[in-house]
């Protein structure tokens, strides 16, 4: 690593902590992109080369696997900001300091704190002194571009998913009772006990008329669950049939032979303490998109999207 602008580093900066902030957006990146993780840890050696004592180098890696959209949900980022406010940090090291936060608000706040506490930001491109207007302007532009990059990538990914859904080709996790065969077609689970359990759910509902009656009919009897993700991915698990699971089965249009995408939307709300909470909601209750479907007996149907009038 060859850093430009090392003349900006003073004894005042070296007398304080050199914070090495590590971040990767997802756990998949942490698992697969190990070279990036190693490069970020190696920034501690770079801080020592630039004059910091080894005991004054702080590695902050609590946010590996977390998105940079919201600083409130990143414990490592919150601790870093707190140390900057106290004037304990002389410099922050990162592979790309413009990606310390994917939110312009969080990044602008960090830059302002860096200016007030005479703290440096250091990456492969050089040393940024936030008391210098040109450095502050350059980093501000880079931060805005980083946020725009996230928006563009998300738009491309979501656009591709919607296009596949409109053709009926998007493969989503199937509810228990259905599996994908070797050709990728949706078929009934060949396990006879699973088939019997699903049939009995709808039979109990037809007889009792409520999900509570379904749960009562399964007292002392196990119910299947197809696991997705994690160490149990693809495995069939068995457990107790709860009221919530019974409602999920009874309201799932897949059991009618209908191909559906867009039943839920993600909503984010700011809590009184400033944290951001993410939850799932139904489009019918005010979501941005509504979803219409058609049924095709020989395979998945076709999904069309239209903007919803709120």
Known catalytic residues? 25
Contact (Cβ atoms closer than 8 angstroms) between residue 209 and residue 202: no
Cα distance between residue 18 and residue 13, in whole Å: 8
The Cα angle at residue 289 between residues 286 and 295, in degrees rounded to 5: 120
Residue 285 DSSP symbol? G
**DSSP output for 216-247:** HHTTT--EEEE--SSTTTT-EEEE---HHHHH
Contact (Cβ atoms closer than 8 angstroms) between residue 172 and residue 162: no
Query: How far is C-alpha 166 from the geometric centre of its chain's CA atoms?
Result: 24
Count CA atoms closer than 13 A to 5's CA, side-chain side: 14
């Amino acid at each position: 690593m060859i850093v430009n602008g090392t003349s900006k580093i003073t004894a005042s900066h070296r007398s304080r902590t050199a914070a090495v902030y590590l971040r990767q957006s997802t756990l998949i990146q942490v698992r697969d992109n190990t070279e990036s993780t190693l490069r970020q840890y190696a920034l501690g050696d770079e801080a020592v080369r630039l004059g910091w004592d080894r005991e004054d180098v702080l590695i902050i890696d609590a946010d590996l696997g977390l998105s940079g959209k919201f600083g409130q949900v990143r414990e490592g980022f919150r601790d870093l900001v707190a140390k900057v406010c106290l004037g304990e940090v002389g410099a922050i090291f990162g592979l790309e300091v413009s990606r310390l936060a994917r939110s312009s608000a969080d990044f602008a706040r960090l830059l302002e704190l860096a200016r007030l506490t005479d703290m440096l930001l250091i990456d492969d491109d050089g040393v940024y002194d936030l008391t210098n207007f040109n450095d502050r302007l350059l980093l501000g532009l880079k931060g805005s571009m980083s946020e725009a990059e996230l928006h563009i990538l998300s738009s491309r990914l979501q656009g591709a998913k919607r296009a596949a859904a409109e053709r009926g080709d998007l493969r989503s996790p199937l509810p228990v009772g259905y599996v994908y065969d070797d050709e990728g077609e949706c078929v009934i689970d060949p396990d006879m006990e699973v088939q019997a359990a699903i049939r009995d759910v709808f039979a109990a509902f037809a007889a009792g008329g409520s999900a509570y009656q379904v749960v009562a009919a399964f007292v002392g009897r196990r119910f299947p669950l197809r696991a997705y993700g994690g160490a149990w991915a693809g495995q069939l698990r068995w457990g107790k049939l709860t009221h919530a699971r019974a409602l999920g089965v009874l309201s799932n249009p897949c059991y009618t032979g209908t191909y559906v995408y867009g039943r839920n939307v993600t909503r984010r709300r700011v809590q009184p303490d400033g944290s951001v909470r993410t939850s799932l909601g139904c489009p019918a209750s005010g979501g941005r998109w509504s979803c219409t479907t058609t049924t095709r007996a020989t395979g998945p149907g076709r999904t069309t999207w239209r903007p919803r009038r709120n």
